[in-house]
Amino acid sequence: MFGLIGHSTSFEDARKKAQELGYEHIAEGDLDVWCSAPPQLVEHVEVKSPTGKSIEGAYIDSCFVPEMLGRFKTARRKVLNAMELAQKKDINITALGGFTSIIFENFNLLQHQHVRNTTLDWERFTTGNTHTAWVICRQLEINAPLIGVDIKKARVAVVGATGDIGSAVCRWLSTRTGVAELLLVARQQKPLIELQKELKGGRIMPLEEALPEADVVVWVASMPKTMEIKVDTLKSPCLMIDGGYPKNLDSKLDGSGVHVLKGGIVQFCKDIGWNMMQLAEMDKPQREMFACFAEAMLLEFEECHTNFSWGRNNITLEKMDFIGKASVKHGFSTLNLQLQAALA
């Protein structure tokens, strides 16, 4: 059985969803009430691969909402409680979706293996970042040529280059895809210099200098909502792959030669018959999902019950090959630009 741990995109959405599901006592509560609400297993689902293999899974809502990010102890408790529930339900492999993997890493939850009388078994969890990185690279390879960008001549800015996903994307683009140049963007210089050494290339640049030079921009950092981008300084055409969470580039930039694509999203080959992706504002919630969630499904299909994506900067090209092959085999494809809209 696979599991997905997620959360609503806002407190308001969470309350609406709780009302729909009949959890009135929580729905009417204020943020303090939600802070003490336990995680809920809200949905069971069966997924059938084109290979004929069927797997079962469950969606656990952590009852975390982004408004709790500033409450360090609450955020930590929400993620650990949801993981404990997944383990108690004997789920083999569970993906940490949305902010939950970021909370896990940034708040160093590895130090908190004991939740009440449960010892969390890390092997049962994955961040899903390997599949996310592979999907983003494939989105670049498929969609850049569609808008007239020659990959071999392209300059690609990776915003969040030193992160878990960003560094994997850089490794793949420099060796497998063979882009002309990588522009490495992040705030801290030391990890950037280390990455540059590892890649034996790439130019370290501040964001505002990288953007006007880039044919493709891969966003794999959670950027502040207040971030301003001067559209008239961007190249035309320019492909923006918005892999961060939450996604907030579309409304600011789409149009006039700049094409924004939701990054790290995959589509299953048929309707799944679940409700959980409505929470995540997918265009086709019956088929589309975060690549990190799909990773848990793929590991279950492949009976690979291990914490496949774990810790920071451990994603290898071999792991990306494995999960990419499984993704295609089990009926997933990357979300791509709509050709007509892209060429308009």
Strand partners, 46: 56
Report, in Å, the least distance between residue 66 CB and ligand NDP.
Answer: 11
Q: Tell me the closest approach of the beta carbon of residue 305 to ligand NDP, in angstroms.
A: 20
According to CB under 6 A, which residues from 208 to 237 bind ligand NDP?
A: 220-223
Least distance between ligand NDP and beta carbon 332 (Å) = 12
**DSSP 3-state of 249:** coil
Asked whether position 186 contacts ligand NDP by CB under 6 A, the answer is yes
- Residue 14 binds to ligand NDP (criterion: CB under 6 A): no
Supply φ then ψ for residue 336, to 5 degrees: -125, 165
3-state secondary structure of 125: strand
* Pairing relationship of beta strands 216-219 and 155-159 according to DSSP bridges: parallel
Shortest separation between residue 109's beta carbon and ligand NDP, angstroms = 14
Q: For the chain, how many residues are written?
A: 344
Peptide bond into 246 cis (omega under 30): yes
Number of residues that bind ligand NDP (CB under 6 A): 30
Which residue, 23 or 308, has its beta carbon nearer to ligand NDP?
A: 308
Backbone angles phi, psi at 177, to 5 degrees: -75, -40
Separation between Cα atoms, residue 334 and residue 220, nearest integer Å:
16
Please give the residues from 278 up to 317 whose contact with ligand NDP meets the rule CB under 6 A.
Answer: 290-292, 312
Whole-angstrom CA distances from 301 to 43, 56, 306 are 19, 10, 13
Question: Shortest Cβ distance from residue 153 to ligand NDP (Å)?
Answer: 25
Residue 324 within binding range of ligand NDP, rule CB under 6 A = no
Dihedral over Cα of 208, 163, 83, 61: its sign: positive
6 sits near ligand NDP (criterion: CB under 6 A): no
Contact 137, 321 (CB under 8 A): no
Nearer to ligand NDP, 120 or 289 (CB): 289
Near ligand NDP in 52-111, by CB under 6 A: 101-102
- 292 or 326: whose CB is closer to ligand NDP? 292
Q: Which of 62, 92, 162, 334 binds ligand NDP (CB under 6 A)?
A: 162
For the record, the structure tokens of 7 come out as 């959360």
Q: Give residues in contact with ligand NDP (CB under 6 A).
A: 101-102, 128-129, 132, 159-166, 185-188, 207, 220-223, 243-245, 264, 290-292, 312
